[in-house]
Amino acid sequence: MFRTRVNPSLSSITRNSSRTRTTTTHGQHYQYLQCSKLPTLYFQRSLPRLPIPLLENTCQRFLTATKPLLSATEQAETQSTVESFRQGIGMELHAKLKQHDLDHKHTSYISQPWFDMYLADRAPLPLNYNPLLVMKSDTRKEYQDQVVRATNLVISSLRFWRSLQADLLEPEVYHMNAKKSDNDSYRRWMKVAPKAFATYASYAFKAFPLDMSQYNRLFGTARIPRLGKDELVQSPDSKHILVLRRGHMYAVNVLDSSGYIESPSVILGRLRAVIKLDADREAATVPLGVLTSGQRDQWARTREQFVSNSKNADLLQSEVDAALFCVCLDGEEDGVYDENSQEPLLKHLLAGKATNRWFDKSISLLISADGTTAINFEHSWGDGVAVLRYFNELYKDTLKQPFVSTETAHTPAEGDLANVRPINFEIDDATRSAVQEAYNKNASIVDSLDMNVLKYPHINKPTCKQFGLSPDSFIQLAFQLAYRQAFNGYVGTYESCSTSAFRHGRTETMRPCTTATQAFCEAVLQPERSKPSAGELRAMIDQCSKVHGQLTKEAAMGQGFDRHLFALRHTAQKEGLPVPEIYETEAYRRINNNIISTSTLGSDALLAGSFGPVVRDGFGIGYSIQNDFAGAIVTTYKNQADGKVFIDSLSSAFDKICSVIQQSRSGSSKQ
């Protein structure tokens, strides 16, 4: 998963609007979500290139990061191995990487190897790669109805897409102080800045343009399984979406022959036609979407056999792969959202039975029977910045003033097989058997998944501000303390940080398990008689925050060590050289065995976010600090790691840290 903060604020949304928009369907107001004064890719040319860190800095950062995971003897051995690497083969590989980077100035040194890493992995997409983002619901019943919400989401998605295609979507810019820079004055200044230097002109406003190269893959993109390594295919000129209902697939036209978005009543009518068509059929006995949940080579072999039938090949390519995006309309039997028991629906949306999914699409909108909406996305093509921007814009647009409600008259589409097309494949026994096998394997994996949710009410954004705490460093410290007191140790911990401030940047790893967090955990768990004072413990918390902030800054500026080491090993493999000894060390193994894998998203639109553990005995932790609570959703595999023990320990860790803060404040106020 990923960690990112994006600019669009949702706090200004008008929530009391109860009327749907009336609009001219070919008018600019309907066809485009935004009409930016600055072209969408205005800053792309002037974005700085992702730097390659100095080799000595990478080596030192690696040693520092692995120290909490190693014994003194192991540290000494690692130091020796790293020093040999730095003075020997590491220098040669670093020079080759630098030269390759110079020869490919249009991109970043990590971009292609990172794509290759994703596409070559043979693990199933659900749980291993595809993350889940659940959107907050609309509190107005007339807009929360499943088909109504689906229609509004489809329209807003298309408005986003058309704005992007027309270069009218606002450029993605992170504003340090939105009040001072996210305004017309800033845009006027940017408009007269030479394109070659626009990014640097923006820096003067403390506004940081972000890479948008991934956005063109948001729509019309599919991951195609191939033996050994998958490929991404794009169909940007498509005019239909893929709709799934009870395992059946439908191609639904949403753009007219000229590429304009169809009217709201037409799209509403076509989605209602899908529901009516499906009501007259039994649920799919061979739900092909299950195949996308499988091991990639197995799916590749099945697909190759399946498309040997020319009808299947044509339908799969033209109707499924080429769809702009996927809409999954789930039934009552799939569950609805329950605030007091979130786990069943979250588990279903994250992976579930896979009978009503096509995990290979870049974006899938999942809409439950009660209108609960989520996005499940294929991860190889891009990271959180693009998806979260889309997610936020969708929420804002559908909430601000939606186009249809339960009162909207629709244009009937029953029998309109040109625009609402059931996709009827020819299923043979081999495909039937492959679907059943994939279903059984996925069901076994999903059944082994455990999910635990914590909402901690005593910590939130206002309290963090009041106590002078970094929310992210606070919650990451709590993860370390929770693991230490529950399982008596320290393990490889992963926090993703976006490097999208650079051209073709992807992510860098931030390592939250530090000697500072280790020192605090050991101190706070001491018996009362030997425990440091509250003031001393608070000073240790502040030191943890300082170190965490520095590591985050380094990662965001492309100065971590994980991607550099990854690229150096990739260079060795590409050049046919032996893998250097550093990659065989216990230190490298432990820090990359990410027992604790974490991801957070800063968004007022987000109800929940989740992903699977990245190792069998690990914890996948989606977390956030909201305005009224701190929350975490922890996934584990049963009999591999105990999520319930971790969640209980996390609550205790929050209590301990809060107690230290309160006692230290109380002590300082008495002095």
Query: How many whole angstroms separate alpha carbon 326 and alpha carbon 319?
Result: 11
Query: C-alpha distances in angstroms, 134 versus 87, 345, 610?
Result: 48, 10, 9
Phi, psi dihedral angles at 406 (to 5 degrees)? -65, -15
In whole angstroms, what is the distance from residue 114 CA to residue 566 CA? 9
Angle at which helices 146-165 and 264-279 cross, to 10° = 130
Q: Among 206, 587, 128, 196, which Cα is nearest to 378's?
A: 128
- CA-nearest of 550, 202, 178, 208 to 385 is 208
381, 125 contact by CB (below 8 A)? no
CA dihedral 558, 560, 564, 566 (to 10 degrees): -120
Identify whether 379 is a catalytic site residue. Answer: yes
Sheet containing strand 132-135, edge to edge, reads 420-422, 248-253, 240-245, 326-329, 363-367, 373-377, 132-135, 606-610
Q: What H or E segment, with its residue span, contains residue 374?
A: strand 373-377
Instruction: For residue 415, report the phi and psi dihedrals to the nearest 5 degrees.
Output: 85, -5
> What single DSSP character describes residue 309?
S
- Closest listed residue to residue 561, CA positions, set 129, 211, 102, 94: 94
Give the HSE-up count for residue 74: Cα atoms under 13 Å, Cβ half-sphere: 15
**455: amino acid identity, one letter:** K
- Placement of tokens 């004072």 in the chain: 533
CA distance 438 to 419: 31
Q: Using the 8-state DSSP alphabet, how is residue 255 labeled?
A: B
In single-letter form, the type of residue at position 130 comes to N
The CA-CA-CA angle for residues 441, 445, 451, to 5°, reads 155
CB count within 10 Å of CB 282 equals: 9
Phi then psi for 363, rounded to 5 degrees?
-135, 130
Longest dimension (CA), the chain: 82
Among the listed residues 94, 240, 348, 379, the single catalytic one is: 379
Give the catalytic positions in this structure. 379
